[in-house]
Amino acid sequence: MLRGKNVVVGITGGISAYKSCELVRSLVRDGAEVRCAMTRNAERFITPLTLQTLSGNKVASNLFDLTSESEIGHIKIADDADVVVVAPASASFIGKIASGIADSLLATVILATKAPVIICPAMNSNMYSNSIVQENMEKLRRHGFTIVEPGEGDLACGWTGRGRLAETDVIALEIQKAVTPQDYAGENILVSAGATREHIDPVRFISNPSTGKMGYSIARAGWLRGARATLVSGHSSLPDPHGVEVVRATNCDDMYEKIHERFERAHIVIKSAAVSDYSPCERSEQKIKKSEKQLSISLKKTRDILKSLGEEKKDRILVGFAAETENLVNNSREKLDEKNLDLIVANDVTAPQAGFGEDTNIAWLVDRERVEELPLMSKFELANRILDRIKEIDRR
């Protein structure tokens, strides 16, 4: 995901400097060329040798080291960067950058680069909430810097509160977004995912094996490409995608209401949730006892969320999914017309590595002009292929 990208990781003085090692390793694993730049105070917490070993590149720290400057000067580091991230960023360093003070090699790199800059604050919670620090961060935001908010929890100083360095995977996602073309900037995307549960009694329900992986991947891919993404999620054990507004839904009726509440402000709606087609006519308020050899349950059809959206779509792009076991393309074309959709993503749930719960999928993209069969790929890669096709449809 970051292959061929030059990422400069800046480290300032703070106890969470040790976490930069994990970040550097993560970026290298993702294919990035990582160069580290440290302040002199950062060297009190972690050695340059450690970062050099993990990154595979010499660490820059001394603005007046003539040997290092002759090999690769700080301006070249700034010029070559695709993105600069400072993790951790101390209150002192944030204040200096906000004031344009370049008294260290790292500060000089940040002020000289034309690349996106990501600041990851880490400090005592009282320092973080101080109005001066908040004003400095707001000033950086106005100048186009991305601020990755710190997490909340136990701090090294013994306090509990907001101020701990954001998790490595969150910082890595912000870095990935910074180097991803923002072709969905300004778009509102509404995605549904996961399985609904139609309860028979308090402990039993009708559902399906959907994990939500496909829909969560679409929401994450949309956010990475600049969209404001909202995810209406049925049951799923996946963590909330960073940067995405997540709304929980239980059964079909609940999902119907929550999608329709947000439908008006969305231009692109992608319904990948696996919604139960039937629900019990009556729900028992008490657990049904195991007393009879047989139990009959009367079922009724649930509301067709996708069809209802097609009736109201106007100029929106509406995408549906078809989990099939046969006649994928023909069934998808019928669904396209029946529900007034722009695109169907069809997949054979019986195919190896392409069913519920898998990290990969094989899909057919069916719209009104063409059918494209895609090979086995990760669901995140498929999510981006779907977004690419939506862009193509939107331009027609």
Q: Which residue has the tokens 């995605």?
A: 191
Is 157 catalytic? The answer is: yes
Quickly count: other Cβ atoms within 10 Å of residue 116's Cβ. 18
State how far the Cα of 123 lies from the Cα of 170, in Å rounded to an integer: 18
Quickly count: other Cβ atoms within 10 Å of residue 340's Cβ. 15
- Whether the Cβ atoms of residue 26 and residue 172 lie closer than 8 Å to each other: yes
Closest CA relative to residue 345, chosen from 188, 212, 215, 185? 215
Amino acid letter, 182: Q
| Pairing mode, strands 151-154 and 371-373 | unpaired
Report helix, strand or coil for 278: strand
Helix, strand, coil tally for the chain in percent (to 5): 35, 25, 40
State how far the Cα of 216 lies from the Cα of 158, in Å rounded to an integer: 36
Instruction: Please spell the DSSP secondary structure of 327-344, one letter per residue.
Output: -HHHHHHHHHHHTT-SEE
Q: Is 314 buried (19+), middle (13-18) or exposed (0-12) by CB count in 10 A?
A: exposed
Considering the candidates 21, 120, 157, 252, report the single residue annotated as catalytic: 157
- Which residues participate in catalysis according to the annotation? 157
